[in-house]
Amino acid sequence: MTPSRLLDALDRRPLDRPPIWFMRQAGRYLPEYRRLRSRHSFAEAMRNPAIAAEITLQPLRRFPLDAAIVFSDIMTPLAAMGVGVEFAPGPVLAPLTLMDVARLPGLEPAGVDFVGEAIEIVRTGLDREVAVVGFAGAPATLLAYLVEGGGSQQFPSFRRALHADAAPEALAVLAEAMRTYLLVQVEAGADVVQLFDTWAGLLSADQFEALAVPAARRALSGLGVPTVYFAPGSTHLLERFHLVGATAYGVDWRLGLGEAWRRVGDHPLQGNLDPSVLLGDRAAVRSGTVRVLEEAGGRPGHIFNLGHGILPATPVENVEAMVDSVVGWAGTDCAGVSHVSGSAP
């Protein structure tokens, strides 16, 4: 059986090129996704395993990617715990107190079985060399949405709540629920799982270590597969990432990979092309992609990804240029000249 390039990278095995996948790769930049969504709401697309699997597989039909990330949303398990969630287009919910969150029922696997079914379909439809990535929202990020009642630039209610004595209890409830949710995905066939901690960067270093880290660590514990922790906008926290206990850490575009590696430590790193580079021309895309590859320097444990989710206005041909540049990467010769084999002029 051909081994998974992503799993090899997570095991820090030497590779001829890094694996490539990218966040939100199944989504709005693809015309086939937009056509399908014109017939189905976002909630229907997520909750119907056949539709979710089809959306998950769409980018794999276009590009030689090394992983498929299941089409879902970090709010999915919260809805299964009795939290009313609407999308307009971002999540909108009635704000909860910390004690409300602490009293939420545990997540029953049956409440998210449609996610597991979608993963089973995807796993059956892919060669084993393509990894399937499951995911969940990190407890701190979910708490931000629950307390605030939706998205926010500054999340003042969430940040105020973190100073209350009940914050650790609320985070612990969410940590257990996310661990259950990730186990459902692993049991369905996910080879790797990623924890998205989108709003961890709002925390001070001390808050991160005292509150976000224990909850994230619990959510990722004992899953039996490699894990990735991604917290964008958190350069002040990089030295503390290792406390989460993940296999690998995602980094955004704000630091070069060399500096990020120095600060995170000796762990696999995922990243970190700025998604806005993909809005330019193909030459800029190839140049930006090669720059990331050169910064990684062929170091074992690099997973090529964007520094955040792909932007909806991204031209498909630019995604093709990025993927081709990584797949055709031939490293650096002794004279320091970089090569991308098979690239279009």
For the chain, what are the domain ranges?
5-332
Phi–psi pair at 131, nearest 5 degrees? -80, 150
Q: What is the rounded average pLDDT of the residues 129-152?
A: 96
For the question of residue 66 being annotated catalytic, the response is no
Tell me what pLDDT residue 87 has: 80
78-87, 147-156, 207-216: which has the highest mean pLDDT? 207-216
Which of 5, 8, 17, 24 is the catalytic position?
24
Instruction: Name the active-site residue from 12, 28, 217, 299.
Output: 28
Mean local confidence (pLDDT), 323-332: 86
Q: How far apart are CA 82 and CA 58, in angstroms?
A: 31
Predicted local confidence at residue 291, as pLDDT? 97
Determine the residue type at 17: R
Would you state the pLDDT for residue 248?
A: 98
pLDDT band for 341, please (50, 70, 90 cuts).
Answer: very low
Q: How far apart are the first and last CA of the chain?
A: 35
Higher pLDDT, 153 or 146: 146
Looking at residue 331, what is its pLDDT? 62
Q: Is the pLDDT of residue 333 over 50?
A: no
pLDDT at 92: 86
Residue 90's pLDDT is 79
Q: Is 103 a catalytic residue?
A: no
Arithmetic mean of pLDDT over the chain: 93
Cβ pair 76, 113 in contact under 8 A: no
270-294 burial: b if 16+ Cβ within 10 Å, else e: bbbbbbebbeeebeebbebbbebbb
- Prior bond of 89 cis (ω within 30°): yes
pLDDT surpassing 80 at residue 345: no
Query: Active site includes 28?
Result: yes
Of 73, 191, 252, 324, which one is the catalytic site residue?
Answer: 73
Determine the 3-state secondary structure of 29 from DSSP.
coil
The domain defined by 5-332 folds into: TIM Barrel (3.20.20)
Residue 113 annotated to the active site: no
DSSP letter assigned to residue 150: B
Active site residue 73: yes
- pLDDT score for 308: 97
48, 72 contact by CB (below 8 A)? no
Instruction: Report which of 176, 53, 189 is spatially closest to residue 134, judged by C-alpha positions.
Output: 189
Per annotation, catalytic residue among 12, 37, 62, 291: 37
Three-state DSSP class for residue 66: coil
Which residues 6+ apart lie within 8 Å of 22 measured at CB? 65, 305, 306, 309, 310, 319
Residue-wise pLDDT for 173-205, tens only, equals: 999 999 999 999 999 999 999 999 999 999 999
Question: 134 has which bridge partners?
Answer: 193
* pLDDT at res. 152: 87
